[in-house]
Amino acid sequence: MGSFLEKVLTGLCLFVSLVLMNESQVRKARKQLLGELPDLTEILRGSLLDRRIFHRRGCLKCRRGEGHRVWVLTVGYPGGRTRQFTVPAEHKGQVQRWLRNYRKLRAKLEAICELNHELLRADL
């Protein structure tokens, strides 16, 4: 719930600040956001899941109920299709960083779009 409230308040603050900005301030803010975009070669869409795999027989670790830890990247596609990719443990940090970069990119693009909407309203 905190995340939803945070988004609403952030959006409200952005709207209020847009009302008070003149055209040059909007353009300056847009340029600043553009400079804050993450490296576009290091983005990844999806979710990283921590899973356990259990062998049916022959594995002592599985018989004890521990299983084997596996990192899985899931990516949703249009039409409800989902793909899963196994991520080696040594790449987990990189995948997490790329997922964060994707979320940052989306947030910055949304903010730039809001500023562009404000510029259009100013022209009308």
Beta strands 47-53 and 68-76 are antiparallel
Residue pLDDT, tens place only, 89-108: 999 999 999 999 999 999 99
Burial 38-58 (b: 16+ CB within 10 A, else e): beeeebbebebeeeeeeeeee
Count of structural domains within the chain: 1
DSSP 8-state symbol, 87: E
Q: Residue 27 is encoded by which pair of tokens?
A: 């353009």
To 5 degrees, how large is the angle CA 77–CA 73–CA 8? 70
**Of residues 54, 52, 70, the one with CA closest to residue 62:** 54
pLDDT band at 124 (very low <50, low <70, confident <90, very high): very low
Listed in order, strand segments (DSSP E) in the chain are 47-53, 68-76, 82-87
**Of residues 6, 28, 15, 37, the one with CA closest to residue 102:** 37
The parent domain of residue 108 ranges over 2-123
> What is the CB-side half-sphere exposure of residue 10 using CA atoms within 13 A?
11
Mean per-residue pLDDT, 22-33: 90
**Does 51 have pLDDT greater than 90?**
yes
pLDDT band at 10 (very low <50, low <70, confident <90, very high): low
